[in-house]
A and B are shown apart, each in its own frame.
Chain A
Amino acid sequence: MAYVSGQKQTSLWRTTRQILLGVIVLVCLTLFVLWRIDSPRVERLRMTLADAALPSMEWTTRPAARFTNMLQDFQSYVRVYEQNEELRRELQTMSGWREAALQLEQRNARLRALNNVQLSPRATFITGEIMADSAGPFSRSGLLNVGAGNGVTDGSAALDGLGLVGRISGVGEETSRVIFLTDINSRVPVVIQGSGQRAILTGDNTDAPLIDFVEDTARVRPGDRVVTSGDGGVLPADVLAGQVIVAANGQLRLRLAADYDRLRFVRILNHRPQPTIHRPGGLIADEPFFFAEEPE
């Protein structure tokens, strides 16, 4: 008797399981479609979750990352002598450059003073540490330990000391996500200095993103500097991204200026776009005023 009821119970259980599985599959697909259609909203959900989970991440990932860093440092100790020599040589050439830069800066300042140039207010920056990274083939991005509470806004440029690293996409209260230039979904408008051509920097999950939509590739030489153009008003203009390299198949790619190999701290530029004028001034009163009741 008990066996029969057990059998019934199992078949009922099996049916509910199947319904549950169906519901879960539906939920997954719906979430995916939602993410594809209305990414910002799902990303906000993701950041909320990251906000909740980051404290626990900080406890585990920080020691692990430090440990690997120590290992890497130890490896570099082994060849400390060669490095020292190398650094000394570099320092020598650098000091020459430093002198040149100082002179140029002074000259620039003098010329600017003569011209009465109005400079845009200097961008401030916030520094964050990469706490977690996306560990799959589907994206290249990192989770920073600074967020809206620290003044990070969506779309800000993220730099290391040398060049552009990526863009903030998704801000939580204490976390934010930086999507690297190498990410497969990253598109950044750039200018190739030298020929002054505009192009789009297209990430494809490789270490050297593609320089796409160049008008005249013949005029681009390897080694040309590539900076952001500021088109679209998301990223500030004139941030160094890297140098042009030509791949074996003739594609133009970018050698990133930012040191992606040892990326840990990232600066987030708090860039406020210049106010643009897109309507006439407020000298002429709005139409409704004339028809509305006169203000007391």
Chain B
Amino acid sequence: MIRWAVRIAMLILAGFGCILLSAIPLQPGAPQWPMPDLLFALCCYWVLRRPGSAPLIVVFALGLAADMLLMRPVGIGALTLVLATEVLRGQSRHLREVPFVVEWAMVAALISMGVAMQAVLIWISLGSPPTVGQLGRYAAGTMLSYPLVALICGGLLGLRHRGNGKLTYSTYLGEG
């Protein structure tokens, strides 16, 4: 129970760290390359490794905080994050047996769908979405950041798949 709480606290801290990292004004006026959505990559990785300790409400809160602080359209960033993590949560049992590249491809597909969904929602609400090139670079950056996030989370935070075949009843419950 305590480990579970610690994991959630770690997720919150790491998520907030991602937001702060994205907010660093490196070239506030003329960014050459949009900052990748690190929080998205982090939450995807986390949900695939420890679905139990990435509660829906925490992911939602992180997404909303990122939307607010990073001056993105309010609400839809959190929406795509929650939907993507829910899809991954449903697939987490199957995705734990596949090699990392396949998992990466799955996450990449979700990233591009999420970015497209945000643009479409802005367009539907009569806003002016960014051009396809800008969105593409953003999505590509996020995809490329996923292995990096995985490396940091897996290496530094020790967040890896639980050993195969050790699926006990308690871990099953924990994974919801």
Please list the residues of chain A having a beta carbon within 8 angstroms of any beta carbon in chain B.
Answer: 6, 10, 13-14, 17, 20-21, 24-25, 27-36, 42, 45-46, 49-50, 53, 56-57, 60-61, 64-65, 68, 130-143, 165, 177, 180, 182, 184-185, 204-205, 207, 258-264
Contacts and interface: CB of A to CB of B under 8 A. Distances in A.
Interface string B39-74: 000000000000000001100100011001111111
B164 interface: no
28 contacts: A20-B57, A21-B56, A24-B78, A25-B82, A31-B64, A32-B74, A32-B75, A33-B75, A34-B75, A42-B74, A56-B20, A57-B69, A132-B24, A133-B25, A135-B22, A135-B34, A135-B70, A136-B37, A136-B70, A138-B71, A138-B118, A139-B72, A142-B25, A143-B23, A143-B71, A180-B29, A182-B30, A263-B29
By size class, the interface of chain B is: 35 or more
A10 B138 CA distance: 38
Interface in B104-146: 118, 121-122, 125-128, 130-131, 134-135, 137-138
A36 B82 CA distance: 21
Nearest 7 A/B pairs, CB to CB: A260-B29, A135-B35, A31-B75, A32-B75, A28-B79, A132-B23, A134-B71
Contacts of A139: 71-72
Contacts, number: 164
B82 A205 contact: no
Given A46-B68, A56-B20, A165-B29, 13 more contacts: A6-B169, A33-B125, A35-B75, A134-B70, A134-B71, A135-B31, A139-B72, A140-B31, A177-B71, A204-B128, A261-B27, A261-B29, A262-B29
B173 interface: yes
Contacts of A32: 73-76, 79, 121, 125
Contacts of A21: 56, 82, 86
B28 interface: yes
Nearest to A20: B56
B17 to A, nearest CB: 8
B176 interface: yes
A133 B28 contact: yes
A61 B26 CA distance: 9
A17 B127 contact: no
Interface of B: 16, 20-31, 34-35, 37, 56-57, 60, 64-65, 68-76, 78-79, 82-83, 86, 118, 121-122, 125-128, 130-131, 134-135, 137-138, 169, 173, 176
Give the one of A34, A53, A132, A143 with max B CB within 10 A: A132
Nearest to B26: A68
Contact of B24 (A13, A20, A64): A64
A17 B56 contact: yes
Give the one of A32, A260, A264 with max B CB within 10 A: A32
Contact of B134 (A49, A53, A205, A259): A205
A181 B37 CA distance: 23
Given A36-B125, A60-B20, A184-B128, A49 B76 contact: no
Contacts of B75: 27-35
A64 B29 CA distance: 17
